[in-house]
């Protein structure tokens, strides 16, 4: 089976005529031109969003293909037995039937739902031999370069108009590894609302098995701000609801244990809240951070930090961890706050030194930091 991408853009293409957004302007400046998405299968079957499959340019042998409409798309089996999953249009997320068999080609709107890739992989419907292509791409992403960056993370192809995708006829039994060729340890550092958590989740969207480690606090803020408040609880609940439902969520301060025992992908969110929780357990917030060298609370925190760094160095998981950038603003007025700031700053340095990739998140932009 082959699939000719007659267009790879969104409903109005990319750049969108008349649109002056930064993405469309950047696309014009760099000569990007994507027609509204469409696919011609084996030359005989034309798929266009919002329409029934129509005849293609070659002789009408459409009967040789089995076309099964599924919610959000089409499930097509070719005369050679090759399998295609196609999103019906921009914003559509095809849901294969329970009895579906693995696909050779998947043409999906990855800007709408990158996490669908992980779900299809966890169900075995997208395997190592499956060619995955992003279709219906448009100004929802800032540039073709950013699209290509995301596709590399998701083991997908960004696609381009006129490209011919051919099924490989590979074996169906091969399981996709987490993300071949991607760094084992990625540390993402940024301030509040910098986009660091979004980047962390985006990086693992295509992975079949993800453990999401919420390293506290879960019910109420620990640290100097004291008791539970409903805004915080709501925020935690919103974050939880926004994650793919098939991710395994673990709420624990035992980050070192998870690093030692998790296989597959592990998302840690985040190192700063973990340290706050550890300091809370050691009673350093309630004592105001008062430290006597060698005293139990101080020693507990230092040994937990050493243990975390050791587990980080030796982990077999593919880890993406989020941490807070501290120290850019005011010096905390209270001692515990200064202890937290100093310890987190040093911990960030130690983790960064042991990471294949360190990213800085600021204003939603992601910058790799040189090693």
Q: Which residues bind Zn ion (CB under 5 A)?
A: 16, 19, 21, 24, 139
Q: What's the rounded Cα separation, in Å, for the pair 102 and 168?
A: 13
Strand segments, DSSP code E, in the chain are 2-7, 38-41, 45-47, 54-55, 66-70, 73-77, 83-87, 103-108, 126-134, 164-166, 185-190, 210-214, 248-251, 265-269, 318-324, 357-362, 365-368
Q: Tell me whether residue 143 or residue 287 sits nearer to Zn ion (CB atom).
A: 143
Cβ-based neighbour number of residue 306 at 10 Å: 12
User: C-alpha 175: how far from its chain's center?
Assistant: 19
- Contact indicator for 2, 166 with CB cutoff of 8 Å: yes
Dmax over Cα atoms in the chain, in whole Å?
A: 85
| Tokens 């040789």 found at | 64
Least distance to Zn ion, CB of residue 21, Å: 3
Least distance to Zn ion, CB of residue 139, Å: 3
- Contact indicator for 103, 126 with CB cutoff of 8 Å: yes
Q: Tell me whether residue 21 or residue 250 sits nearer to Zn ion (CB atom).
A: 21
Cβ-based neighbour number of residue 241 at 10 Å: 8
Task: Exactly one of 129, 172, 239, 360 is catalytic; name it.
Answer: 239
Least distance to Zn ion, CB of residue 24, Å: 3
Per the annotation, the verdict on 129 as an active-site residue is no
Least distance to Zn ion, CB of residue 363, Å: 19
Least distance to Zn ion, CB of residue 135, Å: 18
Q: Tell me whether residue 12 or residue 163 sits nearer to Zn ion (CB atom).
A: 12
Residues forming the active site: 239
């Amino acid at each position: 089976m082959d699939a000719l991408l007659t267009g790879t853009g969104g409903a109005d293409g990319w750049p969108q005529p008349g649109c002056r957004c930064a993405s469309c302007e950047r696309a014009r400046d760099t000569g990007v031109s994507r027609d509204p998405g469409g696919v011609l299968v084996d030359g005989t079957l034309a798929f266009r969003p919002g329409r029934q499959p129509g005849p293609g340019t070659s002789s009408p042998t459409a009967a040789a293909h089995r076309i099964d409409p599924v919610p959000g798309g089409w499930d097509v089996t070719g005369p050679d037995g090759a399998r295609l999953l196609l999103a019906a249009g921009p914003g559509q997320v095809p849901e294969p039937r329970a009895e579906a068999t693995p696909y050779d080609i998947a043409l999906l709107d990855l800007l709408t739902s990158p996490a669908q890739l992980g779900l299809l992989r966890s169900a075995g419907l997208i395997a190592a031999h499956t060619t995955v292509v992003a279709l219906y791409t448009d100004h929802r992403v800032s540039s073709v370069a950013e699209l290509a960056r995301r596709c590399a993370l998701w083991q997908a192809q960004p696609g381009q108009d006129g490209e011919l995708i051919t099924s490989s006829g590979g074996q169906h039994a091969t399981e996709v590894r987490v993300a071949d060729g991607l760094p084992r340890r990625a540390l993402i550092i940024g301030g509040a609302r910098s986009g660091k958590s979004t980047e962390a989740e985006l990086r693992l969207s295509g992975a079949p098995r993800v453990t999401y480690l919420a390293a506290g606090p879960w019910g109420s803020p620990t640290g100097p701000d004291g008791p539970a408040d409903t805004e915080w609880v709501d925020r935690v609940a919103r974050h939880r609801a926004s994650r793919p439902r098939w991710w395994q969520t673990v709420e624990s301060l035992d980050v070192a244990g998870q690093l030692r025992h998790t296989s597959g992908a592990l998302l840690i969110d985040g190192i700063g809240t973990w340290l706050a929780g550890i300091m809370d357990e050691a009673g350093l917030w309630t004592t105001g951070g008062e430290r006597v060298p060698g005293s139990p609370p101080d020693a507990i925190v230092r040994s937990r930090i050493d243990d975390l760094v050791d587990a980080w160095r030796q982990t077999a998981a593919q880890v993406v961890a989020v941490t807070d950038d501290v120290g850019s603003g005011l010096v905390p007025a209270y001692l515990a706050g200064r202890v937290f700031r100093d310890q987190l700053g040093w911990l960030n340095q130690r983790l960064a030194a042991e990471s294949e990739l360190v990213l800085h998140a600021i204003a939603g932009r992601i910058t790799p930091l040189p090693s």
